[in-house]
Amino acid sequence: MMIIMKPTATEKEIQAVIERVESAGARAHPSRGEEVTVIGAVGDREHVTRLGLDASPGVERVVPILKPFKLASAQLRHGVRSVLEIAGRRIGGQHFALIAGPCTVESRDQVLATANVVRDGGAAFLRGGAYKPRTSPYSFQGLGQEGLRLLAEAKEETGLPIVTELMDVRDLDAILEVADVIQVGARNMQNYPLLAEIGRCDRPVLIKRGLSSTLEELLMSAEYVLKEGNEDVILCERGIRTFETAYRFTLDIMAIPVLKEMTHLPVVVDPSHAAGRRDLVVPLSLAAAAAGPTASWSRFTLSPRRPSAMARRPCRPTSSPRTWIR
C-alpha cells in the first residue's frame, strides 16, 4: 500500500502516519520527494486497511498495490485456466458452451418444448428461472417450487444440466435438488451471506456481475464462495449501467479479455439481458466469442402465443443457437 501525503503535510503528520502503519504490524518505507512524501506500507493488507489512513491529517490518498483477491487470481494457478466439468459438459479454458432457455419457467408445455429446441440447437445447458427477482412486487415472481419440478422434468427428458437462480438462502436445499449450476443474479452479487452459504456447498455457481460493479468487486464476490471451499465458480458479464439510453444496459465486451488476465475462473457472457432486444443477441454473441469467452448465455423461449415474462418469441431457423457457435 502506498500512502501519498499532501504537499502541505507537516513532518508531524508524516511521522503520525508512519507510527500508525507500524502499530498495525507493518513496515513503513517513507520516500521523500521534492514536492511530496510517499510512504510504502508492507505487511498485512487487512490490518493496514483498517487503519483508515485516507482520513488521516496530511494524507492525500492511499493507493493499494496488491490485488485484494487471492483464490480467484490468475497467479494462484500460474496462468492455467480452470476448466469445470459439469454433467459431462466442459466450461472454461478453450471450451465454448451455450447456455439457453426461457427467462422464467411458466408452464410445463413451455419449458419442455423450449428444452427440446435448445438441446437440438446444440446448447450444453438449460437455463430457466423458478424464482425471479423482479423490480416490481406486482410482477410475476416465478412459479417457485413448481418451477423447480418442471425443470427437473425437462432435465429428465433432455439430459441437459440445469442452471437456475437462487435468491433466498432459505431456498438453497430445494435448489440443490435440481440445479447443476446455481445462478446468483446481478442484484445479489453482493449478498454476502448468500455467497458464503453457497461456498459451503459442493455445487458449481455462476455469479452475474452487478450492473455497476467493477471487475475487482466481481472477483471479490467470487472470493466469498472460494474462501468457504467451493472451487467451482463461473463469472458472467451481463451488461453494465451507463448514460446511454439507446439500450437497457451496455454489454461490456472488454471485461472478457481483462477478466481472463485477472482470474483463472471461466467467463460467460449474457447478451440477452443487456440488449433487451432479440435482434442484438446474435451480433453480441459473436462479438463476445471473438473476444474470447468460454460460454454464451441466452434467454430463449418457445411460446409465441402466450404472455411470457420477457416475450422472447421463438428464434427462427436463421438465428438458432447452433449459428451462434463458432
Question: Residue 155 interacts with a second copy (CB under 8 A)?
Answer: no
Contact with a second copy (CB under 8 A) among 89, 127, 208, 278: 278
Task: Please say which residue, 4 or 87, places its beta carbon nearer to a second copy.
Answer: 4
CB of 299 to a second copy, least distance (A): 10
- Which contacts of 286-291 are long-range, i.e. CB under 8 A and separated by 24 or more positions? 286/324, 286/326, 287/253, 288/237, 288/251, 288/253, 288/256, 289/96, 289/324, 289/325, 289/326, 290/326, 291/253, 291/254, 291/256, 291/257
274/271 Cα distance (integer angstroms): 5
Per CB under 8 A, which of residues 83..112 are in contact with a second copy?
none
Name the one residue in this structure whose C-alpha cell is 520516500.
31
Per CB under 8 A, which of residues 23..52 are in contact with a second copy?
23-24, 29, 31, 33-36, 38, 40, 42, 45-47, 49-52
Q: Which helix (H) or strand (E) is 29 found in, with range?
A: strand 27-32
CB of 54 to a second copy, least distance (A): 7
Question: Residue 287 interacts with a second copy (CB under 8 A)?
Answer: yes
Contact with a second copy (CB under 8 A) among 152, 196, 323, 325: 196
Q: Which helix (H) or strand (E) is 89 found in, with range?
A: strand 89-91
Residue closest to 186 by CA, chosen among 261, 107, 84, 272: 272
Question: Residue 174 interacts with a second copy (CB under 8 A)?
Answer: no
Contact with a second copy (CB under 8 A) among 93, 291, 319, 325: 291
CB atoms within 10 A of CB 54: 13
Question: Residue 224 interacts with a second copy (CB under 8 A)?
Answer: yes
Task: Please say which residue, 80 or 159, places its beta carbon nearer to a second copy.
Answer: 80
Task: Please say which residue, 86 or 167, places its beta carbon nearer to a second copy.
Answer: 167
CB of 191 to a second copy, least distance (A): 6
- Exposed / middle / buried, residue 56 (Cβ in 10 Å: 0-12, 13-18, 19+): middle
Contact with a second copy (CB under 8 A) among 9, 251, 267, 315: 251
Question: Residue 191 interacts with a second copy (CB under 8 A)?
Answer: yes
Q: Which helix (H) or strand (E) is 12 found in, with range?
A: helix 11-23
CB of 97 to a second copy, least distance (A): 18
Residue 84 φ/ψ region, left for φ over 0, alpha for ψ in the -120 to 50 degree band, beta for the rest? beta
Question: Residue 318 interacts with a second copy (CB under 8 A)?
Answer: no
Question: Residue 211 interacts with a second copy (CB under 8 A)?
Answer: yes
Task: Please say which residue, 11 or 44, places its beta carbon nearer to a second copy.
Answer: 44
β-bridge partners, 97: 295
Question: Per-residue contact track with a second copy, 112 to 141, x per CB under 8 A?
Answer: ---------------------xxxxxxxx-
Contact 252, 241 (CB under 8 A): no
